[in-house]
């Protein structure tokens, strides 16, 4: 019988990553993510893995891409300022199709902001932080246990779609301690690196056969000699300045995500069956929302929670499916209204979308959410 253990969100990220097969971590200490680096330094050599503290976040991101190209499942962890520094190489990973996981335990910003205070202000940065049109997968956990299971999924999808996956935590979940019963590691589904359908000719490492959506070159040192670049490249991985090839490549990078949204998107719907009001929230904010829902229901309000677990791509389809039953949506997030933009875009005016946010580094309380619900109910 599995025992419950007391664990912090940041620790769960490490244990989940290890269970997913992560064996290489490069990072630079930054509050409130530092425990992830510390725990990796402790745990990785125990399982034959590698930990390195780099000179900054630019090099941390570069090192995990390099190690991934050498065949490792890799991870880094940071917070806002460091996440900003990682953006260029994050785009490189998307362009060169190198799997890895980037944990961003969000703090209040902009700039150095409030280092130990919760925020969800990097939601849009996770989508648009690196330059150019690019595909993004980002997950956001709302509990310690979910941090563990979801980061495994982050690694799995990173391998499946050959792209960096952003693990968008917040300080609430990162520093929260909960008793958790971890799943049996033998029952976890773990995706290995795709190296299967390659035609063997090293010159075509980025060749994608009919019916597949990513290339499947072997890691460096396994007998294929190919080139990797962040420039627009042909199937041989060599840089080209050709608009037809550029269009084909970037279109595939985008469509490998766009065409598989149903596979990538996960949401939690809590008490939504009879709800006429939906609180949309993600990450740690869900804790307060669920409490507020209990209280609101006790007062007779029919409120439920719609929580994107996959925050990018935004779960547009499942949200739209709920619209016919809804009179109102209340977006609650620890920022100035970022996911709000996505919700309003998806809803397209079909239902009024109100907003409750916070940018002062304090936590939105259940009472505040309840007050907002009551106020509207009264109107």
Q: Which residues bind another protein (CB under 8 A)?
A: 18-19, 24, 26, 45-48, 50, 52, 54-56, 58-60, 62-72, 74, 88-89, 92, 96, 185, 220-231, 238-239
- Nearest CB to another protein, comparing residues 190 and 350: 190
Q: How many residues does the chain have?
A: 379
Specify which residues 100 forms β-bridges with: 164
Select from 87, 140, 104 the least CA-distant residue to 312: 140
Residue 349 DSSP symbol: T
For another protein, the closer CB: 224 or 354: 224
Q: Which residues of 196-231 are buried (b: 16+ CB within 10 A; e: fewer)?
A: eebeeebbbbbbbeeeebbbbbbeeeeebebebeee
Q: Could you tell me the smallest distance in angstroms from the CB atom of residue 7 to another protein?
A: 15
CA distance 270 to 279: 10
CB-nearer residue toward another protein: 47 or 367: 47
Residue 213 C-beta: closest distance to another protein, Å: 22
Q: CB of residue 122 vs another protein: minimum separation in angstroms? A: 21
Tokens of 238: 């060599």
The minimum distance between CB 36 and another protein, in angstroms, equals 17
Q: How far is the CB of 44 from another protein (least distance, A)?
A: 9
User: What dihedral do alpha carbons 115, 314, 100, 285 form, nearest 10°?
Assistant: 30
Please list the residues that pair with 51 across neighbouring strands. Answer: 25
C-beta of 68 vs 117, nearer to another protein: 68
Cα-to-chain-centroid distance, residue 280: 17
Nearer to another protein, 31 or 236 (CB): 236
Residue with smaller CB distance to another protein, 207 or 270: 207
Phi-psi region of 271 (alpha: psi -120 to 50; beta: other; left: phi over 0): left
């Amino acid at each position: 019988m599995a025992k419950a253990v007391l664990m912090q969100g940041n620790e769960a990220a490490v244990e989940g990553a290890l269970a997913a097969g992560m064996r290489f971590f490069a990072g630079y200490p930054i509050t409130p993510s530092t425990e992830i680096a510390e725990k990796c330094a402790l745990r990785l050599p125990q399982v034959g893995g590698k930990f390195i503290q780099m000179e900054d976040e630019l090099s941390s991101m570069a090192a995990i891409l390099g190690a991934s190209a050498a065949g490792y499942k890799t991870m880094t962890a940071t917070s806002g300022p460091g996440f900003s520094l990682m953006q260029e190489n994050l785009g490189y990973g998307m362009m060169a199709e190198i799997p890895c996981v980037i944990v961003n335990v969000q703090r209040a910003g902009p700039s150095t902001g409030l280092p130990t205070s919760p925020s969800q202000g990097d939601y849009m940065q996770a989508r648009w932080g690196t330059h150019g049109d690019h595909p993004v997968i980002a997950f956001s956990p709302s509990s310690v246990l979910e941090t563990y299971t979801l980061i495994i999924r982050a690694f799995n999808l990173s391998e499946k779609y050959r792209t960096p996956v952003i693990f968008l935590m917040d300080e609430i979940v990162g520093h929260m301690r909960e008793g958790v019963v971890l799943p049996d590691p033998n029952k976890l589904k773990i995706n290995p690196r795709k190296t299967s359908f390659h035609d063997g000719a090293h010159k075509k490492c980025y060749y994608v056969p009919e019916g597949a959506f990513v290339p499947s070159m072997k890691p460096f040192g396994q007998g294929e000699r190919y080139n990797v670049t962040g420039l627009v490249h042909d199937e041989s991985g060599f840089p080209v300045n050709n608009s037809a090839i550029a269009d084909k490549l970037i279109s595939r990078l985008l469509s490998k995500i766009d065409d598989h949204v149903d596979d990538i998107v996960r949401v939690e719907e809590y008490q939504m069956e009879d709800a006429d009001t939906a609180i949309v929230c993600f990450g740690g904010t869900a804790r307060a929302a669920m409490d507020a829902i209990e209280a609101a229901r006790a007062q007779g309000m029919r409120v439920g929670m719609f929580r994107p677990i996959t925050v990018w791509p935004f779960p547009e389809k499942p949200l739209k499916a709920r619209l016919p039953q809804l009179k109102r949506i209340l977006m609650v997030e620890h920022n100035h209204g970022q996911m709000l933009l996505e919700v309003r875009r998806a809803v397209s005016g079909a239902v009024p979308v109100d907003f409750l946010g916070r940018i002062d580094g304090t936590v939105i309380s259940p009472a505040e959410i309840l007050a907002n619900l009551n106020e509207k109910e009264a109107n």
